[in-house]
Each structure stands twice: as C-alpha cells, then as structure tokens.
Amino acid sequence: MQLKDLLLGLGLVSSAWAQLADTSDYPIGPLTTSDEKWAVKVCDITDYGAVADGETDASTAIVDAFNACSSGGVVNIPLGTFALENWVTLSGGTAWAINLEGIIVRTGTAGGNMIYIEHSTDFEIYSSRGEGAVQGYGYVFHEQGEYGPRILRLYDVTNFAIHDIALVDSPAFHLTLDTCNQGEVYNMIIRGGNEGGLDGIDLWGFDLHVHDVEVTNKDECVTVKSPANHILVEDIYCNWSGGCAMGSLGVDTDISKVVYQNIYTVNSNQMFMFKSNGGNGTVTEVTLQNFIGHENAYSLYIDAYWTDETLAAGDGVLYNSITFNNWTGTCENGATRPPLYVLCPSTQPCTNIIIEDFAMWTESGSTEYYKCADAWGSGYCLHAGSEHTEYGTTTSTLTTAPSGYSAPTMPGQLTAGLGLTASIPIPTVPNTFFPGATPATARVYGS
C-alpha cells in the first residue's frame, strides 16, 4: 500500500492531494528510477559528435544519443554550452531520461519547438546538478516585434517528470504539456520577457501535478486548458507575470477536478482568471485555495466575455461548483479594477460558486468594489438561491480594509518586467515558492 492510500484510509490526506487520481491505479511520474536508468546505459551526446563550444549544432548528436538509449538509459548532456541550430524531435522511447547538466542555447531561427518529445512513457528530464538550463535568447526575436520557437513541448507522454532545470527567455511558450498523463513538474524556474505570448506552463491532460515552480513573464504563469481532469497545481510563485488562469475556453470545454493551492502572485495581470467568450461545455469541481497576492491588476476573476478571445459558437461555458477560499493580500487599485470580479454568461449563468474568506485590499486609494453578474452561489456579491437565471450586474463598495487581508511577501520579488532587447540571465532554481512552505520534493545534488 502506498503512503497516499494509507492516509486516505485514515482520513488524514488533504482534499487537494485526493484530487489526483488514485496512484495505485495511476502512478504519477516515472515508473523507473533515475538510478535504474543510469545502470542500463548512458548515451553522452559528446560521444555522438556534440561539442561544448556554444556554436556547433548539437541536434543530430542529441537525436543519435536518444536512438541509442530510447529503450532504456540516460541521454547525458554534460557540463558546457551546446548550441541548437536545428530543432530536436524525440519520438517514442520507454524508461529513458535526459540529464541536462550543461546549458543548451538557441542558435537556429525556425519556428516550432526547440525540443519536442512525443509518444513516450516512463520519461524524465532533469539536471543531476540542479544547474541545467535551456537559453532561448528570445530577445533576438522580441526586439524585432516577432516570436520564434517554443522551448519545450511534450505530446502524448505518460509517466514523466520534469524538474530541477531552468527555461529562460523563450522566443514563445516555455513549457507545454499537450495531452499528457500521470506526470509531475517541480523545482523549476522559468524566466521570460515582459510580453504576452511567452507562456510559462500550459497543460492539459489527465492526472498532472505541477508544484514548486517560479515563473516570470507577462502571460500565463501556470494555466490549465481543455480537456483536463485530475490536476493539482500548488506552491507556485508568479513573480511579475500574467498570473495563473484557466483557458482560453471555447467549444466543447471539458475540465473537472482541478485544485490550485498555495499560489503567490506579485505584480501580475491577475491572481487567477477563468477566460472564455462564448463556447460551450463545462468547468466543474474546481478549488482555488490559499492564494496570496500583492499589487496585481486583478485578483479573483471570471470573465466569460473576454474580448481578447474570438467569440466561439455556443451559449457560453458553464462554470459550476467552483470554490474560492482563503485569498489574502493586496491589489493594485481596487477602485479601478475590482479584486473580486465574477462575470458569467447571461445565457449560461454560473452555478454553485462559493467565495469564502476573501480579504484583499487596495494598494492605491481608500476604496475598492466587488462586481458580479449572472453568478449564483454563496458569498459576497453572488446571488443566492437555485434559480440560476440571468440577472444584471451587482456591485458592493468597501471603504475600509477587510479584516485579515495582511499577507507575507516572498524573497526575490521583481520590481520590473524583464527586458525584450537584451539577454535574460540564467537564474538559480530557488528553494522556496510559497511563504512558509518547503518544496514537496528535495532539490537534487548541487542545488
């Protein structure tokens, strides 16, 4: 019996942990330990022609090393700087890993994905020294008003882990988990430029656990997209970012059993946003708890009329059984943008929304307001009852700070976004991601 199963039986496991599928049937993460993979075979890319000079293209060497170790073993990228002029697609593979001790730097200019891993199982990418990184040099594109490739994309990968590495200055999205299952992402830092379209982590799939990650950019911090179920996101530090979100949601939305907890957000667009415009389908059984924010434009935000998204066919996504609990801290200006803003589709009103223990106050001025429309449930400006029909906008104004709004801060808070005209330095992966919390998994050697 695994630890989680024992605690579940005793009633001692948190509801958030229980949000993941039963690990006895759906184990999360690699099925084979990294030590076992090292013992099978090691395929060092320098043995296949890679040169750590920061100029020689290492793409063929990485593919050749993968082909040699794809049935079991470790593709080793040793200390040094390796250039990637052509992108790498690694398809298939079982019981294998990439150990990124050194640094991969982008030298190519194509679009797409610098590193693309698909149809794989029992996979791990990590840095055994805790210092490995991919440097995308996205500023070269951004100073020209352009976008380039994503850094890392996984598609149809099962039983995997990504940890103890840095993804820096991506020309587009940093990490995408596309239709992936039973995976874990942790002990990471992502540093991107101060611009939209440079998402930190986008994910959709089944039974995914993302925790202990710091993200800097000006778009998605850690965002769930459709379809997705059994997702746990916790201990996240959105440090000058767009903030966490769910969406954009459109036709045939299918999201359920999602928990975000212990989320710290500073100088971001929002603490959490549900975003859609038309569409259909359902978002249900979602819990967002233990959120701390400081100086964010928006805080708690459902926007079913998000005009940055093209209007999709349908009466609107149904937001049902969503609980917000224990939100504290400050917003940038609560009289300009309400820290509590629930705007649901008039043709598909939200149902069973619960907002409790919400204590956010404004950094600027001495008033703030809450705003709700077509949102049914309990708490603050929501409408109580079971009618679930359309109604007009309701607001309430606060002229004194709510009790208990004061919240701690995190070390290393950025006071400005990272530039788009110069290289972003590779940072050290931190050892803390939420006030008072210790990472669930210890850092690897050398951290």
Name the residues annotated as catalytic.
Answer: 219, 294
DSSP string covering 134-190? EE--THHHHTTT----EEEEEEEEEEEEEES-EEE--SS-SEEEEEEEEEEEEEEEE
Look up residue 410 and give its two tokens. Answer: 């995190």
Burial of residue 4 (CB within 10 Å: 0-12, 13-18, 19+) is middle
Q: What are 189's two structure tokens? A: 């830092």
Strands 94-100 and 166-168: unpaired
Question: What's the token pair of residue 170?
Answer: 């991506």
In angstroms, the Cα distances linking 153 to 83, 97, 116, 405, 416 are 18, 15, 5, 39, 28
Sign of CA dihedral 230, 220, 247, 339: positive
Is residue 328 within 8 Å of 360, Cβ to Cβ? yes
DSSP H helices in 2-43: 3-10, 15-18, 34-40
Cα–Cα distance, 181 to 188 (Å, whole number): 19
Question: In this structure, what token pair is assigned to residue 6?
Answer: 């024992």
| Residues shown for the chain | 447
Q: Determine whether 89 is exposed, middle or buried from the number of CB atoms within 10 Å of its CB (0-12, 13-18, 19+).
A: middle
d(CA 439, CA 130): 14
Q: Which amino acid is at 260?
A: Y
Residue 427 makes CB contacts below 8 A (sequence gap 6+) with: 166, 168, 189, 191
Spatial distance between the Cα atoms of 64 and 49, rounded to a whole number of angstroms: 9
Q: Is the dihedral of CA 130, 40, 160, 99 positive or negative?
A: positive
